[in-house]
Amino acid sequence: MKTKLLTTVAILGFATAGLLIGASAAQAGTETETVYYPSATTFTPTNWSASVTVPSFNPALGTLDSVMVSLTESLKGTAQATNTSPTSSGTGHISLVNTANFSVNTIPTPLVVTVNTQTTPTFTLAPGTSSQIYNLAGSGTNSGSTTSDLSFFQTGSSWTATATDTGATSSVFSGGNETTTVTDSGQVMAMVTYTYSSPTSTPEPASLALLGSGLIGLGFARRRRNKA
């Protein structure tokens, strides 16, 4: 009976100590901050440049290991063509493309996002006529990360990056004389992901004491069993 009791004590000691020691192991986590310019629902006519403020990493969460920035540029625009020739018809199309740039001091190479070229359908215009107004939209994404100069991302309540958005228009028209009317606006979204590890804690004295009691109990149990 005593042997069974001592064995039970040993098993419980090992199990409890294991749980407590396991709970002290380091854990990894991520924190994500998302910012827009000008906002989540509005666009700004290109070309533009702006300072973007991003909330800093909270050091209370643990030790910052790396920072990744995922940048998305969204384009919205319209395009219309007019054939100003009085005698000749013409055929063509209009294209828009936006390029966004996100610069952070501690990331050596700025993030650059180029939206895939957005092109109107091919149209044919009689002399002195205009095409319909075409709505164009698209988006593109790029990402980059850093593991250096991490203090920049956790000093104060926020840090600042520079975002720019540049638009370009091109057109192809043959057989007449074309003029174009184009609007082009862009929006930038930066998703910043902080990867961190929680501080590694050492086993508490109580955990070690429980582990020791388990070993002692197991030793006594084996001794009693051998005598029997």
pLDDT, residue 59, reads 95
Check pLDDT > 80 for residue 101: yes
What DSSP letter does each residue of 100-166 carry, written as one string?
EEEE-TTSSS-EEEEPPPEEPPPEEE-TT-BPPPEEEEEEEEEEEEE-S-GGGGGSSSEEEEEEEEE
pLDDT, residue 209, reads 53
Nearest to 62 by CA among 88, 89, 85, 29: 29
pLDDT, residue 6, reads 41
Instruction: Judge if 84 and 191 occupy the same domain.
Output: yes
Instruction: Judge if 195 and 161 occupy the same domain.
Output: yes
Check pLDDT > 90 for residue 140: yes
Burial level of 61, CB count in 10 A (0-12/13-18/19+)?
Answer: middle
Instruction: Judge if 7 and 90 occupy the same domain.
Output: no
Check pLDDT > 50 for residue 211: no
Burial level of 217, CB count in 10 A (0-12/13-18/19+)?
Answer: buried
Check pLDDT > 60 for residue 221: no
- What is the band of 111 on the pLDDT scale with cuts at 50, 70, 90? confident
User: pLDDT tens digits, residue range 84-95?
Assistant: 999 999 999 999
Instruction: Judge if 142 and 176 occupy the same domain.
Output: yes
Instruction: Judge if 84 and 172 occupy the same domain.
Output: yes
Instruction: Judge if 122 and 222 occupy the same domain.
Output: no
pTM, to two decimals: 0.74
Instruction: Judge if 206 and 116 occupy the same domain.
Output: no
98-123 CB burial, b ≥16 within 10 A, e <16: bbbbbebeebeebbbbebeebbbeeb
> 33-37, 98-102, 113-117, 204-208: lowest mean pLDDT where?
204-208
- What is the band of 116 on the pLDDT scale with cuts at 50, 70, 90? confident
Please give the C-alpha separations between residue 7 and each of 18, 57, 102, 207, in angstroms, as whole numbers.
16, 49, 64, 19
Which structural domain range is residue 179 located in?
Answer: 27-199
Average pLDDT over residues 41-57: 96
Percent of the chain at pLDDT > 70 equals: 75
pLDDT, residue 27, reads 83
**Rounded distance between C-alpha atoms, residue 109 and residue 149, angstroms:** 14
Instruction: Judge if 132 and 102 occupy the same domain.
Output: yes
pLDDT, residue 104, reads 86
User: pLDDT tens digits, residue range 16-46?
Assistant: 444 444 445 568 899 999 999 999 999 999 9
Q: What is the CA radius of gyration of the chain?
A: 33
Instruction: Judge if 21 and 61 occupy the same domain.
Output: no
pLDDT, residue 19, reads 43
Instruction: Judge if 192 and 225 occupy the same domain.
Output: no
Instruction: Judge if 195 and 211 occupy the same domain.
Output: no
pLDDT, residue 8, reads 45
Q: How many domains does the chain have?
A: 2
Instruction: Judge if 43 and 156 occupy the same domain.
Output: yes
